[in-house]
C-alpha cells in the first residue's frame, strides 16, 4: 500500500490495536512498541477504511532498541506532542496559526512557532528547541496573477512566470507547502484528472467534495509542482505533478522588492527579531503548554519520558580579543567587534593608488557622479590611497546596450577600474555589465545605485566604503590580525544552488596566498546536476596550490579547509569520499608532496542558541569570541560553537564547527582561535562576521557567478577580490 495515510489508518484499526495495544508510534514504515509481541512475525487481518477491502497486515520483529538509540522514536513522539498542542506543521516546523500576527499595511502575517529535535549530546539526551517564524502573504496566487495582468497586459505570461515560478505557496485547506515549478496555461479548474477511485473528476468538483470549497474563478490557469522522485524510484519513473488552484494558494516568504523595502523589513523585525529574554520566555511558555496539556503528557508518559522545565546551564569561554593591525599601528576594538572608525584614522596595509579610472553614468545622474568623485578625493588620502580625477562618460539613456557599448569603448589595458552608476536596480542590466567586466573584457568594476550616493549626509560613509571595496578589487589589503602560523594555506569552500531554475551548481573556492591571510586566490567551477562535487573541488584546489607556489616559491606544509553548506547527513560522505579524493590529488603537484590537512565543516543553519546570564532573571547575547565545546556538542564529533559577532538587536546565532579531519598538529583550542581570527578578515565589513572570511568570500563569488555571470570569470581577476 503506497499511501502513508492508509498505512497509518490500518495500524489504528480495531483488529490491529487489539493485538499491539494503544501505546505505539508509527511513522509510516517503522512501528515502535514499548513491549515485545508474542511472535516474531504476525499477520493480522483487517480492512481498508476507504472501501472496506480485506487486508492482511504483516508485522515483523526487527530488533530491541536501547533507549540511547531511540532518537527517531523520540522525534516522532515530539511531533505527536506538537499535534496535541494543535500546532500546524509547515515544512519541518510547527506554527501556531491562532497566534498569527497580522501586518495589514503590507498584506502580510507572521505565524509564531517552534523548531525542535531530540539528539544525543555530550550532556545526555537533549531537546533542541527554538522559536521560529513563518511569514505569509495574505493575498492569493490568483490575486498576484491579476495584479500582473493589470500592470503588464501585453507581456502577461512572461511576467507572471517571473512573479510566481520559484515561489513557495501554502494551501490553506490542508496547510501544505509547494514550490511552484511552472504555470499550466492550458489547464483550468474545469479541467479533469483521474481520482484514486479511477473516475475522472474536475478540480471544481474535487474541492467541493473533499473540502467543501467552491472555486470562484473558473478561467484561472493552474500552478504546477513537480514532486521530488522517491529514493527508490527507477530512472524511468516520471516525477508526479501536483496541480494547484491559484485562488486556494497563499504565497509565503518575501519577494526581492519586499526585502529591499525598509518599512516592510522594519515592521517584520518588530515581530521576528526577539531578544534573548523574549526568546527564553517563548521557550518557557512552550514547556508550560506541554505540561498543561494532558494529551501531550500522556504521549510522553506512556514511554516513560518527561520534559525538564529549564534550559541547560553550562560554562563557556571567551577567546582573547584580537588586535587589528593597520599600516602604522595596532588597534583594539574594545569588545565591540567593529572597527569602522579606525579606517579613517589610519592607512590601510596596502593601498593601490587610483590613477586611471572611469565613471559611467546617465545625464540625470551627472551631478551625483561629480559629487561622489569629489567626496572620494576627500576620503581616500586619510586611508593612504592617492586618487586622481576620473574620466567621465555620460550616457543619453539607461538602456543595457548603452552601458555595454560605453564599457567596450573605454576599456583598455591601462584602465584600473570602471565605476558604473545605475539610476535604478535591475537584474538584467547588472548581469550584462558584470558578465562583460568579469568574463569578456576583464576589468575590475564597481556598480553603484544612484540613490546610494544621493543623500549628502551619508555620502562620506558611502564613499569611504566604496573606496575600500575598489582598493580590494585592485589587489589592495585593508587590515590584518596576528596569525602565528607559517607556511599554511587556508581555504574556504561554498556551493551556490539555483533551486528555482535548475541550473548547474557553482562551487566557490577562495584560498589564502600569504602569511597574514590578506591576499586571496579565487576560483569557481560548475557542477552538473547529479554529479559529484569532489571533481570540481580537486581541480580548483590544485589551481590554488599552483598559484600559492608562484607567489611564495614553496608549497604549504599545512592546509586548513573550511567547508560551508554541509548538513549532518552529508558528513559521512565528505569524510569518507571527498577528503580522500582531495588528499589523493596532492601528488599530482609533486611526487611525495603530502601536506597535513584540517577539514572544518561550517554550519550556519542551526537552532542552538547560547545566552549569557546577567542575573537570576535577565539574559543577554554572549560577547564576541564566546566558544562552547562541551555539553551541547555531539558525543562522536570534535565540534564547537562560536559566537563571533556583536548583535545589538535580537538574538545572536552561533556558528557550529565540526572538525572532520586534523593532521596539522593544532589542538582543538588552537583551531578555535584560528577560526575566530579568520572571522575578522572579511573586507566588506569592518567588523567580525559569522563565518571565517574565506567562506564568506567563497559565498560571494559563487553567488555572483550563479546569479549573474553564469560563466567562469577570467583568470586575470583571480588574484583579487573582484566580487565584493
Which residues are marked as active site?
A: 494, 532, 564, 699
Q: What is the CA radius of gyration of the chain?
A: 29
Torsion of CA 624, 627, 632, 636, to 10 degrees: 140
Do residues 403 and 433 make contact, with C-beta atoms less than 8 angstroms apart?
yes
Give the span between the Cα atoms of 51 and 232, in whole angstroms.
Answer: 28
Do residues 276 and 620 make contact, with C-beta atoms less than 8 angstroms apart?
yes
Do residues 708 and 686 make contact, with C-beta atoms less than 8 angstroms apart?
no
Residue 256 CB coordination number (10 Å): 9
Residue 521 φ then ψ, to 5°: -105, 135
Give the span between the Cα atoms of 519 and 475, in whole angstroms.
Answer: 8
Give the span between the Cα atoms of 113 and 488, in whole angstroms.
Answer: 45
Residue with cell 551556490: 496
Residue 663 CB coordination number (10 Å): 14
- C-alpha distances in Å from residue 484, one per residue of 269, 515, 557, 673: 41, 9, 14, 11
Q: DSSP for 634-703, please give it.
A: BTTS-EEEEE----SSS----EEEEEEEE-SS--HHHHHHHHHHHTT--TTSSB--SS-HHHHHHHHHHH
Do residues 702 and 536 make contact, with C-beta atoms less than 8 angstroms apart?
no
Q: Which run of H or of E encompasses 393?
A: strand 391-395
Do residues 310 and 466 make contact, with C-beta atoms less than 8 angstroms apart?
no
DSSP state of 568: G
> Roughly what angle, to the nearest 10 degrees, separates helices 71-84 and 294-301?
170
- The residues, ordered by sequence, that sit 6+ positions from 73 with a Cβ below 8 Å of its Cβ are 25, 32, 65, 303
Give the span between the Cα atoms of 636 and 708, in whole angstroms.
Answer: 41
Give the span between the Cα atoms of 406 and 391, in whole angstroms.
Answer: 12
Give the span between the Cα atoms of 668 and 284, in whole angstroms.
Answer: 34
- C-alpha distances in Å from residue 173, one per residue of 85, 170, 377: 19, 9, 61
Closest CA to 534 of 503, 563, 569, 558: 563
Residue 49 φ then ψ, to 5°: -70, -30
Which three cell numbers mark 78?
515530539
In degrees, rounded to 5, the angle at the alpha carbon of residue 519 between the alpha carbons of residues 715 and 383 is 115
Give the span between the Cα atoms of 613 and 626, in whole angstroms.
Answer: 13
DSSP state of 557: S
Residue 653 CB coordination number (10 Å): 20
In degrees, rounded to 5, the angle at the alpha carbon of residue 664 between the alpha carbons of residues 663 and 670 is 120
Helices and strands: H and E segment counts in the chain = 19, 34
- Does residue 413 come out as left (phi exceeding 0), alpha (psi in the -120 to 50 range) or beta? alpha
Amino acid at each position: 500500500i503506497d499511501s502513508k495515510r492508509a498505512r497509518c489508518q490500518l495500524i489504528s484499526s480495531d483488529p490491529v490495536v487489539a493485538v499491539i495495544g494503544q501505546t505505539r508510534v508509527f511513522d509510516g514504515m517503522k512501528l515502535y512498541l514499548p513491549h515485545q509481541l508474542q511472535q516474531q512475525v504476525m499477520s493480522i487481518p483487517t480492512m481498508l477504511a476507504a472501501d472496506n477491502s480485506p487486508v492482511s497486515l504483516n508485522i515483523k520483529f526487527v530488533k530491541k532498541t536501547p533507549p540511547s538509540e531511540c532518537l527517531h522514536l523520540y522525534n516522532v513522539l515530539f511531533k505527536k506532542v506538537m499535534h496535541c498542542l494543535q500546532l500546524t506543521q509547515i515544512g519541518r516546523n510547527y506554527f501556531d496559526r491562532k497566534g498569527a500576527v497580522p501586518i495589514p499595511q503590507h498584506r502580510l502575517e507572521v505565524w509564531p512557532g517552534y523548531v525542535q529535535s531530540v539528539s544525543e549530546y555530550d550532556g545526555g539526551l537533549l531537546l533542541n528547541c527554538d522559536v521560529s517564524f513563518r511569514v505569509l502573504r495574505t493575498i492569493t496566487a490568483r490575486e498576484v496573477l491579476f495584479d500582473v495582468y493589470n500592470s503588464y497586459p501585453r507581456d502577461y505570461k512572461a511576467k507572471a512566470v517571473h512573479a510566481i515560478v520559484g515561489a513557495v505557496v501554502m494551501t490553506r485547506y490542508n496547510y501544505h507547502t509547494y514550490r511552484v515549478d511552472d504555470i499550466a496555461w492550458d489547464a483550468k479548474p474545469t479541467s479533469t484528472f483521474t481520482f484514486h477511485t479511477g473516475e475522472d473528476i474536475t478540480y471544481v468538483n474535487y474541492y467541493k467534495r473533499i473540502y467543501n470549497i467552491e472555486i470562484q474563478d473558473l478561467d484561472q490557469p493552474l500552478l504546477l509542482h513537480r514532486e521530488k522522485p522517491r529514493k527508490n524510484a527507477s530512472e524511468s519513473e516520471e516525477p508526479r505533478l501536483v496541480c494547484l488552484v491559484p485562488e486556494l494558494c497563499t504565497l509565503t516568504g518575501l519577494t526581492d522588492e519586499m526585502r529591499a523595502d525598509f518599512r516592510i523589513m522594519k515592521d517584520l523585525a518588530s515581530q521576528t527579531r526577539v531578544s534573548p529574554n523574549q526568546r527564553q520566555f517563548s521557550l518557557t511558555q512552550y514547556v508550560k503548554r506541554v505540561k498543561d496539556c494532558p494529551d501531550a503528557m500522556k504521549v510522553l508518559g506512556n514511554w516513560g519520558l518527561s520534559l525538564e522545565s529549564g534550559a541547560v546551564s553550562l560554562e563557556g569561554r571567551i577567546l582573547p580579543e584580537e588586535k587589528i593591525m593597520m599600516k602604522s599601528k595596532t588597534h583594539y576594538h574594545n569588545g565591540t567587534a567593529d572597527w569602522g572608525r579606525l579606517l579613517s584614522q589610519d592607512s590601510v596595509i596596502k593601498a593601490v593608488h587610483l590613477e586611471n579610472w572611469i565613471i559611467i553614468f546617465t545625464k540625470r545622474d551627472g551631478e551625483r557622479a561629480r559629487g561622489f568623485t569629489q567626496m572620494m578625493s576627500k576620503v581616500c588620502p586619510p586611508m593612504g590611497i592617492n586618487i586622481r580625477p576620473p574620466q567621465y562618460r555620460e550616457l543619453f539613456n539607461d538602456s543595457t546596450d548603452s552601458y555595454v557599448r560605453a564599457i567596450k569603448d573605454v576599456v583598455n589595458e591601462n584602465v584600473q577600474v570602471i565605476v558604473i552608476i545605475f539610476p535604478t536596480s535591475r537584474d538584467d542590466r547588472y548581469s550584462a555589465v558584470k558578465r562583460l567586466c568579469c568574463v569578456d573584457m576583464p576589468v575590475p568594476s564597481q556598480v553603484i545605485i544612484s540613490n546610494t550616493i544621493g543623500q549628502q549626509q551619508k555620502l562620506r560613509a558611502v564613499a569611504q566604503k566604496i573606496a575600500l571595496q575598489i582598493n580590494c578589487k585592485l589587489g589592495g589589503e585593508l587590515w590584518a590580525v596576528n596569525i602565528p602560523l607559517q607556511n599554511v594555506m587556508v581555504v574556504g569552500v561554498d556551493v551556490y544552488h539555483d533551486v528555482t531554475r535548475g541550473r548547474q551548481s557553482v562551487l566557490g573556492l577562495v584560498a589564502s596566498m600569504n602569511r597574514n591571510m590578506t591576499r586571496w586566490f579565487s576560483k569557481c567551477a560548475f557542477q552538473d546536476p547529479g554529479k559529484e562535487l569532489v571533481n570540481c573541488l580537486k581541480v580548483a584546489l590544485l589551481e590554488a596550490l599552483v598559484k600559492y607556489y608562484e607567489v611564495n616559491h614553496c608549497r604549504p606544509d599545512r592546509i586548513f579547509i573550511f567547508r560551508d553548506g554541509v548538513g549532518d547527513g552529508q558528513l559521512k560522505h565528505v569524510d569518507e569520499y571527498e577528503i580522500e579524493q582531495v588528499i589523493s590529488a596532492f601528488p599530482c603537484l609533486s611526487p611525495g608532496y603530502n601536506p597535513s590537512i584540517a577539514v572544518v565543516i561550517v554550519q550556519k543553519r542551526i537552532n542552538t542558541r547560547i545566552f549569557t546570564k546577567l542575573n537570576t532573571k535577565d539574559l543577554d547575547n554572549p560577547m564576541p569570541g564566546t566558544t562552547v565545546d562541551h555539553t551541547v556538542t555531539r558525543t562522536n564529533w570534535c565540534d564547537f560553537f562560536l559566537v563571533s559577532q556583536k548583535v545589538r538587536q535580537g538574538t545572536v546565532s552561533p556558528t557550529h564547527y565540526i572538525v572532520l579531519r586534523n593532521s596539522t598538529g593544532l589542538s582543538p583550542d588552537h583551531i578555535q582561535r584560528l577560526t575566530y581570527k579568520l572571522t575578522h578578515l572579511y573586507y566588506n565589513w569592518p567588523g567580525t562576521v559569522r563565518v571565517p572570511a574565506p567562506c564568506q568570500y567563497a559565498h560571494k563569488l559563487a553567488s555572483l557567478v550563479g546569479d549573474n555571470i553564469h560563466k567562469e570569470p577570467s583568470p586575470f581577476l583571480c588574484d583579487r577580490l573582484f566580487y565584493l
